[in-house]
Structure 1
């Protein structure tokens, strides 16, 4: 069994024909059973008759009733082999027919291809198609360029209408008009203010104390304060007399209350200071 297991066989048959119990007892040996269980080669037993069973039958990979059955187990039936070959032959024929059909269909496709059938005519046809496409492309380009030019002109017109330069010119004209109106208004305002100033100056001149002084009146002050009443001054006080053309420093000799005026003898030691 060891030599057979190392021989690289497809299967090993352990068989014996019929015999007595003692004749078959060697197949119950423990070493035989253990060796069969550990063998790497496929093992089949066929010991004795169908009713005979040994430990070797349980340890082998397959147990058969007789040696003939063991031989039949590992040998395929000729009919089955023939059927297998027929099946494979039919499959091969079917596969080859399918390959041939595919090749025939591909050949018809190649034969019907205009490029393969007549390459020159195909190339001329494609050249004509290319020329037609090129003509359409040039026409489309020209139409597109014209449309873009028209659109550009329209946009330029709109831009000129919305241009800040035109608006600036309008605003400059308007600014000039406003400047002219402002100058006229300022002149009219200055003229009015000048007229008003003249009127106020005339009124101021008319009500000026200097005008009153020019008519013979005088302003009397003592210690920087105007004297409004004779009771406000004492005899002997020094006073300043303002005339229209100068001032006088005088001394009061006496005061007379209740009188509207004073004689020339009421004043004494008058010193003029022009």
Structure 2
């Protein structure tokens, strides 16, 4: 181990770095050619490979023969697959990759990769219509991400200002093509999404070939759009062009001009609609006033309002008749109840023991209240109670 007292020389550190890097061995890597250097007469070609989704790059050296056999028409911006081994140059303290095979990715393979990525993002729910947000009807401020002085920028700004002259834009110019496009666009998205004054973001680019529009199908860009809290409108290319970011964005516009029409309302059209609405409201109010006036005139022509005393007299007559009917009904009910009460009282008296006692009979009871029905139920010397029609007697059994 090294220490302040026994530090390693630079050559030792360089040797150890080289040893660690050499352990990686040969690898296949995918990247985009950011820079291509072919010196006349030189046997070695220098490439700078950039990650399409991140701001990272590596230097690759390849022999001219290998390049001519694998990718003779290679140009900057092309996607390649390289078989290379990392090497550490101790003299310069730099890292590079030495390639022994290089393959240029064709359009068919790129489209197949995009289709596979599309299925992956769809399975993760990035295309779900339920999570898409509707942009505001009239945004306070609009963020625009596009190339500098491009036709897309001119179309969006001109058409939006023609529709709504007071529209406010914050424009961020980025690279929309090439190896630096994705990091540039993702960075602009993050800046606008963090701006509290931005209500909607437009991602605009003019038409181009499939290869030109590849940055807008990049996985990192799609996930950055999905992560935005601000609604995003995608306006990439023309109507037939459908990069993957169109599926992730909240709103897909066929062209940059279409995005300008979607982001702000048409002032002339809105004024026309307001005038129509005002006219409909005026007509509705007038119709309501006329109808209520007719109802009021109809109420005034009714006898109840023309001769209100006649209504009172009729109601008074109805009230007197009702009171008379109630009285007769009450008298009839009381008479019938009194008759029923007399009959019930007569039946009660006929069935009452008092009527029997009044004819000279008596009820004999023991001290506990038991009524005697037979002589043998009493014992000699027992005291009995005799209940008469009027009063009671106490008797003692002697025999």
TM-score by length of 1: 0.41
More strand by share: 2
TM-score with structure 2 length normalisation?
A: 0.31
- Structure richer in helix, relative to its length: 1
Computing the radius of gyration over CA atoms, which structure comes out larger, 1 or 2? Answer: 1
Q: Which has the higher contact order (CA 8 A, sep 6+)?
A: 2
